[in-house]
C-alpha cells in the first residue's frame, strides 16, 4: 500500500486527515511544525505525539521531498539546484541571496505548454504539473540546504517567487495549497507581500487567485501591444491585452494591492521608445510597478539582450510618466539560472 506523503498536506488537509482517523485536529499544526519548521521526517522523533500515533504515521505516511542531485553556484552567489522527482523527471530551483534578503525561485511544472519564444522552459514542451509536495518540497529542501544543522532558520529565505519552470496558474490548486503553507506561521510564516505568483496572463485564474489568496501577483507582460505580444507569447491570442489589463486592474479594487509587471528587454524587439510610450498608456489605470529584465541569451533563439543605454532610455520614459520602474539585476547568468534560462537540463 502506498504511503501518504504529508508534504502534500496543508494544515486544513491534515486536520481532516487526523479527524478521519479519530484523532484531535490540533495534531495538524503540531505535525506541520515538525515537518516544515524543524525539518523532521522521522515520525518517531515527533515527541509531542503519542507513541501510538507516531507508530501509525510511520506505517502509513512519509515525508518525501524531491532529491537534490546537482548544485551550481554562480560568481554572484546565486545557486541553481537540480532536483529529481520520484518518476525520474527533474526540475530546477534557484536561490538568489542579496544582503539580508534571500529569494527562492521555484518551479510549478515539469516543462511548460505555453511556448513563449524567449524561454528555455517553453522550448522543452510540457510533461506534467508538480504535486504540492514537489512544489513546497523545493522550499523545504532549500531551507535544509541553507541551514545544514537542520535548525529552524527559515529567515535565509525571505521571498518566494513562482518564476521557475512552468506557468503556476495552470497548476492552480497545487500552487494555491503551496502558498498556504508558505504563509502558515507553523510552517514558513512568510509575508503575503513576499510570496509572488507570476503568470503569463491566464485571466480566469488571475481573478480566482485575487479572491482566494492574498499573495502578490506579477504578470509577465514583455510587450505593449497585441501584435508583438502574440508573436512572443502565444497565450496572448487567448487572453489579449485588453482582458489581461482589465484583470490586473481588478486587483486594485480593495485599494491595497499592487501588481508587478515583468518586462524582458530584447534588442530591437520590444525595447524602442514607442514601446515604452505604449506601455505607459496601458498601465495608466493602476498601481503598477515595472521590473525591466535585461534579456539573457537562450540558446536556439536569435533574440539578443537590449543594450544598457536602451534599457535606461526605456526606463526614463516610464519614470517620467510616474510609473515606479526598476531595472532588475540579472543574476546567475553564468550558470543559466537567470530569467528564461531554466530548462531542467542540469548544471
How far apart are the C-alpha atoms of 244 and 205, rounded to whole Å?
A: 11
Minimum distance of ligand SF4 from residue 119's CB (angstroms): 3
Tell me whether residue 103 or residue 109 sits nearer to ligand SF4 (CB atom). Answer: 109
Choose between 8 and 220: whose C-beta lies nearer to ligand SF4.
220
Task: Rank residues 78 and 198 by Cβ distance to ligand SF4 and give the closer one.
Answer: 198
Minimum CB separation from ligand SF4 for residue 155, in Å?
Answer: 29
Residues of the shown chain interacting with ligand SF4 in the complex, contacts defined by CB under 6 A: 112, 114-116, 119, 121-122, 166-167, 200, 220
Residue whose cell numbers read 507508530? 55
Residue nearest to ligand SF4 (CB): 122
Count H helices, E strands: the chain?
A: 12, 14
Nearest approach in angstroms of CB 195 to ligand SF4 is 18
Q: Residues 119, 278, 319, CA angle at the centre, nearest 5°?
A: 90
Judged by beta carbon, residue 122 or residue 295, the one nearer ligand SF4 is 122
Of these residues, 116, 119, 200, 339, which one is catalytic?
339
Residue closest to 276 by CA, chosen among 233, 228, 339: 228
Instruction: Compute the residue count for the chain.
Output: 347
Task: Report the chain's C-alpha Rg in angstroms.
Answer: 21
Across the chain, the runs of DSSP E, i.e. the strands, are: 4-5, 61-62, 67-73, 79-84, 90-98, 101-105, 109-111, 126-129, 159-162, 195-199, 216-220, 259-265, 288-294, 324-327
Please identify which of the residues 11, 15, 79, 92 carries the catalytic annotation. Answer: 92
Tell me whether residue 125 or residue 268 sits nearer to ligand SF4 (CB atom).
Answer: 125
Residue 339 bears catalytic tag:
yes
Look at residues 178, 206, 198, 195 and name the one whose alpha carbon lies nearest to residue 116.
198
Check if 23 is active-site. no
Q: How far is the CB of 36 from ligand SF4 (least distance, A)?
A: 26
| Smallest distance, ligand SF4 to C-beta of residue 130, A | 13
Residue numbers annotated as active site: 92, 339
Amino acid at each position: 500500500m502506498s504511503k501518504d506523503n504529508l508534504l502534500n498536506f496543508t494544515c486544513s488537509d491534515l486536520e481532516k486527515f487526523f479527524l478521519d482517523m479519530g484523532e484531535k485536529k490540533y495534531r495538524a499544526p503540531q505535525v506541520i511544525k515538525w515537518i516544515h519548521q524543524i525539518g523532521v521526517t522521522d515520525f518517531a522523533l515527533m515527541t509531542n505525539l503519542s507513541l501510538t500515533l507516531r507508530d501509525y504515521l510511520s506505517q502509513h505516511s512519509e515525508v518525501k521531498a524531491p532529491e537534490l542531485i546537482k548544485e551550481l553556484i554562480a560568481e554572484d552567489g546565486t545557486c541553481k539546484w537540480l532536483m529529481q522527482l520520484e518518476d525520474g523527471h527533474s526540475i530546477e530551483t534557484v536561490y538568489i541571496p542579496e544582503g539580508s534578503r534571500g529569494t527562492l525561485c521555484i518551479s510549478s511544472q515539469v516543462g511548460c505548454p505555453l511556448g513563449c519564444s524567449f524561454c528555455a522552459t517553453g522550448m522543452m514542451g510540457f510533461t506534467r504539473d508538480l504535486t504540492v509536495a514537489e512544489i513546497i518540497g523545493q522550499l523545504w529542501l532549500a531551507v535544509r540546504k541553507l541551514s545544514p544543522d537542520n535548525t529552524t532558520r527559515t529567515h535565509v529565505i525571505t521571498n518566494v517567487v513562482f518564476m521557475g519552470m512552468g506557468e503556476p496558474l495552470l497548476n492552480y490548486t497545487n500552487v494555491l495549497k503551496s502558498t498556504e503553507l508558505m504563509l502558515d506561521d507553523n510552517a514558513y510564516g512568510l509575508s503575503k507581500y513576499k510570496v509572488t505568483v507570476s503568470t503569463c496572463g491566464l485571466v480566469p485564474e488571475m481573478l480566482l487567485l485575487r479572491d482566494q489568496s492574498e499573495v502578490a501577483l506579477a504578470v509577465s507582460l514583455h510587450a505593449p501591444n497585441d501584435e508583438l505580444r502574440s508573436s512572443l507569447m502565444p497565450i496572448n491570442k487567448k487572453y489579449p491585452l485588453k482582458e489581461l489589463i482589465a484583470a490586473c486592474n481588478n486587483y486594485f479594487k480593495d485599494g491595497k494591492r499592487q501588481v508587478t509587471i515583468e518586462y524582458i528587454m530584447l534588442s530591437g524587439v520590444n525595447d524602442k521608445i514607442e514601446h515604452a510610450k505604449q506601455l505607459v498608456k496601458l498601465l495608466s489605470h493602476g498601481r503598477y510597478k515595472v521590473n525591466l529584465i535585461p534579456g539573457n541569451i537562450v540558446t536556439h533563439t536569435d533574440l539578443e539582450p537590449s543594450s544598457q543605454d536602451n534599457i535606461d532610455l526605456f526606463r526614463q520614459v516610464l519614470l517620467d510618466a510616474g510609473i515606479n520602474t526598476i531595472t532588475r539585476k540579472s543574476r546567475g547568468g553564468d550558470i543559466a539560472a537567470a530569467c528564461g534560462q531554466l530548462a531542467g537540463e542540469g548544471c
